[in-house]
A and B are shown apart, each in its own frame.
Chain A
Amino acid sequence: MERVNPTIEYLQEKFAAKILDSHAFRGDDTIVISGAGLREFFRSLKEDPKLDFNFLTDITAVDYLGKKEPRFEVVYHLYSLLLKHRLRIKVPVPEEDPVVESLTPLWRGADWLEREVWDMFGIRFHGHPDLRRILLYEEFQGYPLRKDYPVNQCQPLVPEREVQDTFVDQRSHNKLMQLQHNIGAKSRS
């Protein structure tokens, strides 16, 4: 199953200390690296002319609850438009302190992808400019794609959020006041 792969070989030569594991299952080149100095590692992947991974395809995570230690893995897919090769990079993240460095300074597209991982898995990204939930709402409790989140879990009802200082609110407020005033005038007469 294991075949000698030029990209992985080159990576292992260059970053021997960084790479924990590598494989090429079904032709997908994969490396596992540690979270320390993540951004610098990606920068060198992006800027090395022999690798030239200029395109961030995807960021996601997998929860290996009870199967692997550490529990989470953040998975990056990179692509090189020029050399036409893909690489998968996996970063193990411990449950106690789920945090990795953000890639937003390298690719702006990492913004929403990292927000989604935060939303679904509760993994924080250090250095992200605006780490909010994206698909779910702020009041949502828990992280639904974690394996210990039951599929039939119900969420508590949340009160309506007050939105202030917007044009729409001011107008509708004025309309409401006008309406109340009119109704009041009618009932008086």
Chain B
Amino acid sequence: MKTTVKELPGETMELQMGPSHPATHGTIKFNLKLEGEKVLDCDVEVGFLHRGFAKSCEQAIWTQVIPYTDRLNYASPLINNVGYAMAVEKLLGIETPPRCRFIRVIVSELSRIFDHLTCCGMSASELGAITVGFYMMEARELIMRIVEAVTGARLTVTYVRIGGLKHDLPHDFDDQVGRAFEKVRRILADCDRLLSRNRIFIDRVSNVGVISKETALAYGLTGPLLRATGVSYDVRKADPYLVYNQMEFEVPLGVKGDNYDRFVVRIQEIEQSMRIVEQALKRLPPGPIMLEDPRIALPEKEKVYNSIEGLMNHFKLIMEGIKVPPGEVYFAVEGGNGELGFYIVSDGGGRPYRIRVRPPSFIGMSAFHEMIKGHMVADIVPTFGMINMIGGECDR
């Protein structure tokens, strides 16, 4: 007996997905060209969260930009803070005290854990693994508590200052981190048992959203998206800033560059970040956390209230801000989603002349149509989830 398979005549259909779609956490619009359920082409529209970050920064003094950077990638605000402050410090030509550098590494890595947990947890729950989603939210909450204990805020932290930090770590920080990491490790082990060999999950993410090494480089992808294709590029290793050259950690790599690899790379990076935090805590040197330079650091309140010099110094710094010499620098840190670069131009006035952020998730979204072409409509959400587009950073 011979069976014949007839191809049904396909009709191209245009579908607009978004901008406010319940399954995409972020305001974004996909203009899809479909043949049945297959995606023929996809045009991504971004910019729904554009709020003029660069223009606002040009109106503010250098210190006032720090709260704006919180709102870029709000899943890892501390990394943005660190990136911006270090770019300005590079332009000023100053170096922060050792204790400050260690604390910056610690808070950056906490933020990275937070970012990856958000991304992986949400993606898993979108694929039906709601348990994993909740478990990871619990782990995220544990990290969030530490961030809250350090900075006093959950998302809009504004913890880093130009030349140092707002204040020191709380006295029982080691214990808090130890306890939280123990629980996070247990949760990650649970999630690993739930997902890593789970047929349903693997079928949904494996071989979906594949991007080759060459294409990833042509698009300028960085972070987990690039490392999932097997290219070992991590700013922390390639161009070590702060004290990353003293830390022992590995850069997890994928093979195929599909969604599964991205997921695994992120999960493994959480473990590496915890390693870095533990090492940094062990070696944390005593000392000041702020540069002692009256042109940059605010004076102690004792001096402000009791001496005319202190008061003047405080007044000048608040009203006129830090004087940054004319020039331009580019400084990159490894953000949760990839290379987060700040290109800063100063004209010597009290305000930034131009601040440009190199947004990793914007560049990730520019390659989205390459990842999704030929796949199903249902694959859009997991692929989009693994890029981890954060509206605040993508649209600025």
Contacts and interface: CB of A to CB of B under 8 A. Distances in A.
A109 B15 contact: no
Interface residues of A, number: 40
Interface string A52-94: 0011111010110001000000010100010010101000000
Interface string A139-164: 00000110001010000000000010
Contacts of A88: 328, 330
A166 B219 contact: no
Given A56-B220, A145-B55, A167-B14, A136 B327 contact: no
A135 B15 contact: no
Contacts, number: 100
B378 interface: no
A4 to B, nearest CB: 19
B396 A86 contact: no
A112 B365 CA distance: 9
A112 B363 contact: yes
B232 to A, nearest CB: 9
B109 interface: no
A109 B50 CA distance: 20
Contacts of A136: 47, 50
B358 A112 contact: no
Contacts of B343: 58, 60, 75, 77
Contacts of B15: 166-168
Given A57-B358, A58-B341, A107-B220, A26 B50 contact: no
Interface string B202-246: 000000000000010111110000000001010000110000000
Interface string B340-358: 0101010100000110101
B220 A26 contact: no
A9 to B, nearest CB: 21
B55 A135 contact: no
B339 A57 contact: yes
B356 A57 contact: no
B358 A108 contact: no
Nearest to A146: B55
A111 interface: yes
Contacts of B339: 57
Interface of A: 25-26, 28, 30, 54-58, 60, 62-63, 67, 75, 77, 81, 84, 86, 88, 107-109, 111-113, 116, 120, 134-137, 144-145, 149, 151, 163, 165-168
Interface of B: 13-16, 46-47, 50, 52, 54-56, 58-59, 90-91, 93, 215, 217-221, 231, 233, 238-239, 327-330, 332, 339, 341, 343, 345, 347, 353-354, 356, 358, 362-363, 365-367, 395-396
10 contacts: A25-B328, A26-B329, A75-B343, A77-B358, A84-B239, A109-B366, A112-B365, A120-B54, A136-B50, A145-B55
Top 7 nearest A-B pairs (CB, nearest first) are A135-B47, A109-B220, A112-B366, A109-B219, A60-B356, A135-B50, A58-B358
